Each structure stands twice: as structure tokens, then as C-alpha cells.
Amino acid sequence: MNTNPDFRTPEFSARGRRADSLFRYATIAAGAIVLLVLGAVAFTTTKRAWPALDSMGLDFFTSDRWAPNEKFFGARSFIYGSLVASTIAVVLAIPVSIGIALFTTQVVPARWRRPIVYLVDLLAVVPSVVFGLWGILVFAKHVDGFYGFLHDVLGPIPVVGDLFGEGSGRGYMTAGIILAIMITPIITSLAREVIDTCPPADREGAYALGATRWEMIRGTVLPYSKGGLVGAVMLGLGRAMGETIAVALVIGSTANISANLFASGDALPARIANEWGEAEGTWRAALIGLAVTLFAVTILVNLAATAVVNRSLAKSQGTR
């Protein structure tokens, strides 16, 4: 041990400089690895999917006919199913998650906070296959009647009624609800962290100006944490789009495009999981093609969301 640490000794700062540059390279390497892995994944999957992509051409993305026994592969109905189910999931999960996050950070007394947070986080560790089995064996069986009720009530309304047609317990809506339950804890815990970063000074300032609790939340907490909240939702959306087994069990597994939210459909990852075991040759290539498509769709959705957020952030920060 050095009894007289002198921070200005030449050795020390030389070592410091070396550590500094080492740190810089290490972080650059870490960042590069992410890009490298992404690039490698994109390259290999595209290469292995090429036999199918090559023989199908653009039809691979635009056709909704999927007939492995005739070597015809069109992914459109699965892209549609993935988007519809994850949209339902996000629409249902956003108000609930942000509600829980606001509740635990702003409303609930401090001593109740931990158990509630703990319970919500517990939901995140339930394996997806458990959700899937519960979905198919319990939920799908009993939700049938409720869908029928919604169809009877909302069905006759023009345009909106098309969304609530007849159906069974296996379809987009059931998949969306199961996914919503699965992504709620993720969005909640991230949203909680984000909301917690709102400076107390801002909040107390709002109170000082005579704001009610809701006005304070709307005026300071939400604008302050908007970017982070969208990030939280994006992570949830990513999870919903990639979720495989739970969706495979409840979405109904038919290559179908329908505005009816209660109809059966299929999602990209679910189709891969269902058919992988029996697939060979071009069929296998086509399933890898579905993975490439999922990759691309996820990136596109994320880019679009980031663009929207940046624009709205610029706007709201301009007024602040």
C-alpha cells in the first residue's frame, strides 16, 4: 500500500492514460460485437433462406398462400398475424403497465410499494409455455362465450363490427391477450424506473403552482419520461413479436388474413416452431426465410417508432 498517494506522479497518470485508452477500445469492441453479431445473423439466415427466397421472389412477402407440399411459400398472412397479435397486446398492455407504474411510484404508500412491485415482477418469470398451456386449456375454453357476447353487441356496428366477427377461443385476440399479460411486467418495471427519474423539484414545482396530483403527473411526470416510456413499450413490443410457444398454442395456426380479431391466424415465430420438425430442403429454407422476415419487420417497426418518438419529443421539448 502506498502511504503517500500522489495523484500527480508521472507513473500514475501514465497508467491512467493507458487504462483510459484500454477502456475506450474495450467499449468500442463491445459495441462492434453487437453490430457484428447482428450482421452475421442477418447474413447466415438470409443465406440459408436463399433457396426459398430465390424460388419465390417477391411472392414470398406478398402472397398469403402457404403450401409446403407444393413448394409454395407466402409469408403475408403470418406477417399480418404477428402485427395484429402484437398490436392487440401493446394496446392492452400500455394503459395497464403505465397505470401500475404510476400507481407504485406516485400513489401507493411506501411500505406497500415493494410487495406490489415484487408481485408484478414475479409475472415476468413465468415461462411462456405455461402461459400458452393456460391459454389453450383454460382461457381459450372460457373466453369463447365472452367473444360471442362482444360479437352480438358490437357486430352490427358498421366498420367496427368487422373487427368483432364470429370466432372461437383460438385466434388473434386470445394470442394478443396472452401476450399482453406476458409483456405487462416488462413494460411496468421499465416504466417505473423511467418515471422514478423525474426530478422531485419538477413535481414539487407543479404542486406549488396548485396542480392536483393528476395535473402534476400529466404536466411533469409524463412529458419528462415520454422517451423512456416509449422505449419500454418498444421492448415489450419486441418481446410480443418474438414470442413463439405461447402464440403457437393459442393463435389457431391457420394461414389466414381476416379483419375479424376473433378469427384464427398465425404468426411468424409460431409457424417456424410448428413446422420446423418436419421441414426439409426448400421448406426448411422458407421457415428460415420467415425468421429473416421477422427480423426485418421488428427492425422496421422499431425504426418507425423511434422516428415517431423523436418527432414528438422535439415538439414537446420545444414547448417546455
Partner 1 sequence: MLSTKNRSVSLLAVSLGLALFAGACGDDGGSTAAATGSTAKTGTTKPAASSGATAAPTTTVAPKVEVTGTLNASGATFPKGFYEVAIAEFKKAQPKATLTYAGGGSGKGRTDLQSQVVDWAGSDGLVKDADKPNYKGGEFLYFPTVVAPITVSYNLDGVDKLNLSAETVAKIFQREIKTWDDAAIVAENPDAKAKLTGNITVAHRSDGSGTTEHFTIYLNKSVGAGGTGVWKLKSGSTVEWPADTQAGNGNAGVAQIVKDTKGAIGYVDFSDAKATGLKFASLKNKAGKFVAPSLDGASAAAEGATVNPDLSYDPLWAEGDKAYPIAAPTWILAYVKQTDKAKGETLKTFLRFMLTDGQKLAPSIDYAPLPKGLDEKAIAQLDKLQIPV
CB of 316 to partner 1, least distance (A): 44
Q: Which of 183, 107, 144, 152 is nearest to 262 (CA)?
A: 144
User: And the C-alpha cell for 86?
Assistant: 402484437
Of 236 and 289, which has the nearer Cβ to partner 1?
289
Q: Are strands 66-67 and 72-73 parallel, antiparallel or unpaired?
A: antiparallel
Of 82 and 189, which has the nearer Cβ to partner 1?
82
CA–CA distance, 107 with 110 (Å, rounded to integer): 9
Of 189 and 256, which has the nearer Cβ to partner 1?
256
Task: Answer for the pair 45, 277: CB distance below 8 angstroms, yes or no.
Answer: no
Of 31 and 145, which has the nearer Cβ to partner 1?
145
Of 114 and 141, which has the nearer Cβ to partner 1?
141
CA–CA distance, 200 with 171 (Å, rounded to integer): 45
CA–CA distance, 14 with 25 (Å, rounded to integer): 17
Task: Answer for the pair 73, 272: CB distance below 8 angstroms, yes or no.
Answer: no
Task: Answer for the pair 84, 265: CB distance below 8 angstroms, yes or no.
Answer: yes
Q: Which residue has 427466397 as its cell numbers?
A: 53
CB of 297 to partner 1, least distance (A): 22
CB of 270 to partner 1, least distance (A): 8
Of 192 and 271, which has the nearer Cβ to partner 1?
271
Amino acid identity, position 92: L
CB of 69 to partner 1, least distance (A): 3
Give the H/E segment covering residue 34: helix 10-56
CB of 154 to partner 1, least distance (A): 21
Of 73 and 224, which has the nearer Cβ to partner 1?
73
CB of 265 to partner 1, least distance (A): 9
CA–CA distance, 317 with 310 (Å, rounded to integer): 10
Which residues are at the interface with partner 1 (CB under 8 A)? 65-70, 136-137, 141, 168, 170, 248-249, 252-256, 258, 263-264, 273-281, 283-284
Q: Which of 299, 309, 164, 169 is nearest to 241 (CA)?
A: 299
